[in-house]
């Protein structure tokens, strides 16, 4: 298959990163998790004791950071100024703050320009919230992946080793983040006009992956 770009957007826990990774493996494409970049900035900001509303300091910190996404033994590895923060960017504190950092226009501008550069040579599957609308508006395949809030919370709950919260609390936390992401002024989470909507509620993972691959084949053979 010739190289092209796939934009995969949707709310938290919809299955974006899992589907994107499997599709990328199948096609021999590069998987890029843009959420990890917003998480990396949030990690650094919290490490430095800066609050999310200290906007000027957050921007200064984001500008000075070197964020590298690279393939690792268990998926995408995230390095900040050479330090491996892959696991640390998934903490509860980061979940609680990342959407506040992600609503700062200058932080978005900075990360979006890096993301565009990463996809310039094509052959990427990129997941996030604004990929089809802002980062790769010309992506050949655009998908908006969703599922009910309850199911998304249950999926996330099942992934937890020793959950410190209930599935109900997790659902509330996810709903709060979805609301912040969907209602922010800059590049809100929204389905691109030309994206295909896939609701994965009660749909097994392999079927969702199969559907995405089918859309890719149709696109490259001129079917849709």
Q: How far is CA 138 from the centre of its chain?
A: 18
CB of 13 to ligand CDP, least distance (A): 5
Binding residues for ATP, by number, are 10-18
User: Phi/psi of residue 29, each to 5°?
Assistant: -100, 175
Q: Decide the pairing of beta strands 75-80 and 196-199.
A: unpaired
Residues 6+ apart with CB under 8 A from 191: 9, 132, 144, 197
Please identify, using beta-carbon distances, which residue of 5 and 34 lies nearer to ligand CDP.
34
Q: Is 162 helix (H, G, I), strand (E, B) or coil?
A: coil
Please identify, using beta-carbon distances, which residue of 142 and 177 lies nearer to ligand CDP.
177
Residue facing ligand CDP at closest CB distance: 35
Q: Where are the alpha helices (DSSP H) in 50-204?
A: 55-64, 92-101, 105-118, 149-159, 167-183
Please identify, using beta-carbon distances, which residue of 109 and 220 lies nearer to ligand CDP.
109
Distance CA 70, CA 77 (A): 5
Question: If 0-12 CB within 10 Å is exposed, 13-18 middle and 19+ buried, where does residue 83 land?
Answer: exposed
Applying CB under 6 A, the residues found at the interface with ligand CDP are 10, 12-18, 34-35, 38-39, 98-99, 102, 128-131, 155-156, 159, 177, 181, 200, 203, 205, 208
Going by C-alpha positions, the residue among 83, 104, 73, 9 that lies closest to residue 40 is 83
Please identify, using beta-carbon distances, which residue of 35 and 137 lies nearer to ligand CDP.
35
Please identify, using beta-carbon distances, which residue of 140 and 154 lies nearer to ligand CDP.
154
CB of 145 to ligand CDP, least distance (A): 7
């Amino acid at each position: 298959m010739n190289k092209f770009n796939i934009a995969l957007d949707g709310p938290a826990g919809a299955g974006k990163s899992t589907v994107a990774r499997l599709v990328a493996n199948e096609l021999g494409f590069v998987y890029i998790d843009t959420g990890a970049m917003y998480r990396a900035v949030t990690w650094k900001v919290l490490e430095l004791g800066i609050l999310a509303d200290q906007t000027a300091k957050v921007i200064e910190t984001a500008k000075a950071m070197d964020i590298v996404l690279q393939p690792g033994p268990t998926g995408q590895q995230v390095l900040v100024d050479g330090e491996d923060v892959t696991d640390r960017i998934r903490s509860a504190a980061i979940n609680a703050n990342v959407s506040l950092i992600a609503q700062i226009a200058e932080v978005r501008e900075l990360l979006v320009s890096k993301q565009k550069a990463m996809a310039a040579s094509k052959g990427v599957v990129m997941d996030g919230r604004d990929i089809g609308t802002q980062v790769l508006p010309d992506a050949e395949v655009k998908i908006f992946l969703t599922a009910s809030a309850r199911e998304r919370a249950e999926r996330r709950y099942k992934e937890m080793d020793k959950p410190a919260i209930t599935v109900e609390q997790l659902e509330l936390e996810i709903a709060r983040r979805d609301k912040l992401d969907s209602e922010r002024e800059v590049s809100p989470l929204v389905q691109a006009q030309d994206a295909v909507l896939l609701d994965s509620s009660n749909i097994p993972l392999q079927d969702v992956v199969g559907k995405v691959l089918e859309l890719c084949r149709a696109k490259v053979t001129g079917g849709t």
